[in-house]
Structure 1
Amino acid sequence: MISKEHKKHTSLVRPVSGNFGRNEWAILGAPCINIKLLANEVINALSPQYKCAYADTSHNDEVTLPPGRLAGGAVLEYTDQLNYHQFNHSTALKPINFKQQFADDDMVLVNGNHQPAKAQVVIIYNNKSASLQKRVAQLTNVELILLADNVDDVFDFIKEAIPNWQQLPICRLEETDKIIAFFEAKMQQAKPILNGLVLAGGQSIRMGHDKGALNWYGKEQQYYMADILKELCEDVFISCRPEQKQKIDTTYNTLTDTFIGLGPFGAILSAFRENPNSAWLVVACDLPLLDANTLQYLIANRNPSAIATAYENAHDGFPEPLITIWEPKSYPILLAFLAQGYSCPRKVLINSDIALLKAENTDALTNVNTPEDFEKIKRQIHQKIAST
């Protein structure tokens, strides 16, 4: 007999998601053509800023035969159509497949006449009253009500199903500007909060002693960086190895590695395992010239639609992964790279959709790895302090 206290699986914090993605709305209650036209209007308006997706179901009267090689028994066919790319599957997709496929998208609009979603937009359309009534059970989180032509009031069964319907925004279906403004506001509200992570769990082999404990400005660098991030982030954590935790000042939050032996890559994954719904501003502790202005510029130019916002290294043009804002959508991508045997965060950035910035002060990106680097930067800092 298994004890009630026994847990078979490790309890993990799950990313916020619906059937398809983090931000999804099923539009239902009108003919499918009206839903598609409305989705087109919204997507056209928001696509310059957000990655938009659409989900629907084909309902042809005739049975559609499998295309191409699927008819011959293939389970998957990929076609590069040059201006778009097409995958055909012969096997049915499961819920987790949809979440993987839509993971990079910021918002998903769904034809709710056929598939449900986490939030709903209900269209009051006289000729679709009976169809909508069949789907009342799907109205779990209605956020917008639209009145079609020749409709002046909400159906009585909708009023009964949605007790707070009068508190919801209501506008007419032809008021496209108001509808687009609704989605714009929702996407702004959905912007992930920003937490800070100071990487202090390295072995510091080349330096010969802990780089996080180096004192450049009157306190250990790991605390100095954490203090700067506290002014810019919601919460700040010092990332460390489990055996380091007892040595860190208890007035600072710590986050120990749960992905062991992967260096900074493991620290970033450990942060997302702790909170997969937050964006993480990751900063290494070996950047003594990094200042608040450089971090503020990174935050001000953050692009939540990309998987990350990073600085370009002035010497080689590659992104700097350890002065980077990693968005929640980067978590499954990092895990996917790990599954393929890669544990380099820079490789993830190089091969992904990111916002890449040029630093106004490139010296701020200088890292210190050796005793020679230490002496050089120490003299530079002392000269700067003396001159001011």
Structure 2
Amino acid sequence: MTLNGHNKHTKLARPSLGNFGRNEWAILGAPCTVIKLLADDVLRALAPDYKGAYADTTHADDMILPPGRLNAGAMLEYTDQIQYSQLSYATPLSPVQLKQHFYQADIVLVNGNHQQAKAQVLVLDENRKASLQKRVSQLTNVELILVSDNTNEVFDFIQDALPHWRDIPMLKVDDAQGIVTFFKSKLIQNLPKLNALVLAGGKSERMGFDKTAIKWHDKEQRYYVADMLRRHCRDVYISCRAGQVAEIDGAYPTLVDTFTDLGPYGAILSAFRSEPDSAWLVVATDLPLLDDITIQHLIALRNPSAMTTAYAGGADGLPEPLIAIWEPKSYPQLLAFLGQGYSCPRKVLINSDTSLVPPANPDALSNVNTPDELDRIKRQLHQKIATDE
């Protein structure tokens, strides 16, 4: 901090990450072999629905020379192993680099004998009692206790370290189904909250006037969309440029673009900058035929394990980025693309893990950017009203 209480750096909302990811557990108190087998069982059981990852350290007696060209002085080696890809680094990865590699994982299990995580799974094993006692300081957030067959009680030093140990779920170490159920319930419990973002910051240059203010349904479209989304999301924001805030009805919270001159891409990044742990249902205001069924359908088919859930639109079936659910894991991906000179949301979706959903009503995805399109949709709406009457 500098003089006069002035902060030198902008204060940013930081995502709730541990050493590796959002949902991470270090397993400690058991031999490494037991930990690895336990991690195998859990990750295999969760694999159909969740992306899992594992972190460990090689034992000192297993140390070998650096692989491949690293031994010749290279700093990095990438190998396409056909069935999997392998990256080998010559130097240790920094905490930031580790998070970058693990950000797509829904769950990270860690060998707690060598690495730490923000939550722990504690194994009580009489044969590892002395070793566990040395690691008591690592028990900062124990969420599950597993008991081995050779252990009949919670060790005294554990009771001292965890005064509320009776409130912690306790299972037998060989209760595979119970352990998997525990992790599933935690992942469901930690599902990112879904916010909504109404994109109203465009300049409507092709239309010639502010298309967010068109009254397709007896109110300005930006408010009509926001009211619709309020029925499905707890927090709804209207995305806008700084100069637009004064013209927006105060009953509707705004979220100002902080990544300027990037269009919708900047609006999405600004939303994540504001709340990096939330998922964002992003909806454009140039969709006059949008309805509740279309929103409900997308939310019902949300895939939190994917980076994004989006409608496959048009004859080409390409993802529609501006009526899509962007998960928190998409934030670093968006920043990475921006760092390489890309600011097209659709390009990000095409080249990322996107869960595509067939639209319940393809017409609801029709957008309006020009006066000709406006006239066409007006006629379509009038015909629908006449038919309904």
Letter in 1 for 2:141: N
The residue that corresponds to 2:277 in the other structure is 277
Q: Look up the equivalent residue of 2:105 and give its one-letter code.
A: D
**Partner SS for 2:3:** coil
Structure 2 SS opposite 1:376: helix
Q: How far is 1:196 from its partner?
A: 0.4
Report what 1:66 is aligned to.
66
Unmatched 5+ stretches in structure 2:
none
Residue matched to 1:80: 80
Question: Which residue is equivalent to 2:14?
Answer: 14
- DSSP-derived class of the 1:122 partner: strand
Give the corresponding residue for 2:50: 50
Mapping for residues 283-362 of structure 1, pairs under 5 Å: 283-362=283-362
What amino acid sits opposite 2:239 in the alignment? S
In the superposition, relative to structure 1, how do residues 210 and 131 fare at CA in structure 2: closer, same or farther (>3 Å)? same
Partner of 1:268: 268
Q: Is the 8 A contact 2:198 2:284 kept in 1?
A: yes
C-alpha distance in structure 2 between counterparts of 1:78 and 1:149, whole Å: 43
- How far apart are the structure 2 equivalents of 1:17 and 1:234? 23
Q: Which secondary structure state, in structure 2, belongs to the residue aligned with residue 258 of structure 1?
A: coil
Count of aligned residue pairs for this structure pair? 388
Question: In 1, distance between residues paired with 2:363 and 2:289?
Answer: 7
2:116 alignment partner, SS class: coil
Give deviations 1:170-211, integer Å, cap 9, x for gaps: 111011111111000000011101000000111101111001
Q: What does the per-residue CA deviation read over 1:75-103, in whole Å, with 9 as the maximum and x for residues that have no partner?
A: 11111100011111111111111100101
Q: Secondary structure at the match of 2:328?
A: coil
**How far 1:124 sits from its partner (Å)?**
0.2
- C-alpha change, 1:59 and 1:4, in structure 2 (3 Å) is farther
1:387 CA drift (Å): 2.0
Which amino acid in the other structure matches residue 276 of structure 2? P
| Matching residue's letter, 1:99 | K
Equivalent residue letter for 1:55: A
Determine helix, strand or coil for the equivalent of 1:61.
helix
Q: One-letter code of the match for 1:279?
A: A
Q: Distance in 2 between matches of 1:380 and 1:201?
A: 26
User: Tell me, what secondary structure is at the counterpart of 1:259?
Assistant: coil
In structure 1, distance between residues paired with 2:259 and 2:131: 49
Give the deviation of 1:385 after TM superposition. Answer: 1.5
Distance of aligned partners of 1:177 and 1:212 in 2 relative to their CA distance in 1, 3 Å threshold: same
Shift of 1:361: 0.9
Output the aligned Cα RMSD: 1.0
Q: Deviations over 1:141-166 (max 9, x none)?
A: 00000100121111110010011100
- Judging changes above 3 Å, is the alpha-carbon distance between structure 1 residues 380 and 130 closer, same or farther for their aligned structure 2 residues? same
Contact 2:278 2:327 survives alignment (8 Å): yes
SS at 2:5's partner residue?
A: coil
Q: Which residue in the other structure is 2:29 paired with?
A: 29
Amino acid aligned to 2:75: V
* 1:289-348 Cα deviation digits (max 9, x unpaired): 010100100000000000000001122221000000000000000000000000000000
Task: Kindly provide the amino acid, as one letter, of the partner of residue 296 in structure 2.
Answer: Q
Amino acid at match of 1:136: V
**In 2, Cα distance between the equivalents of 1:157 and 1:102?**
33
2:220 matched to which residue of 1? 220
TM-score by length of 1: 0.99
CA drift of 1:4 comes to: 5.4
TM-score, with length taken from structure 2: 0.98
**Aligned mates of 2:236, 2:62 — CA distance in 1:** 57
Amino acid paired to 1:223: Y
Pair 1:384-2:384 in alignment = yes
Amino acid at match of 1:325: I
Stretches of 4+ moved more than 3 A in 1? none
SS at match of 1:146: strand
For the residues of structure 2 that align with 1:379 and 1:91, how far apart are their CA atoms? 64
State the identity as a percent.
Answer: 62
Higher mean alpha-carbon deviation, 4-13 vs 29-38, is at 4-13
Which string of whole-angstrom CA distances, capped at 9 and with x for unpartnered residues, describes residues 26-74 of structure 1? 0000100011111111011001100000001110415411111111101
Match of 2:255 in 1: 255
Structure 1 partner of 2:138: 138
Q: Distance in 1 between matches of 2:272 and 2:174?
A: 42
SS in 1 for 2:27: strand
Q: Which secondary structure state, in structure 2, belongs to the residue aligned with residue 16 of structure 1?
A: coil
Within 5 Å, give how 1:109-148 maps onto structure 2: 109-148=109-148
Q: Residue type of the partner of 1:281?
A: L
Residue 157 of structure 1 aligns to which amino acid in structure 2? F
Match of 1:104 in 2: 104
Q: Tell me the equivalent position of 1:203.
A: 203
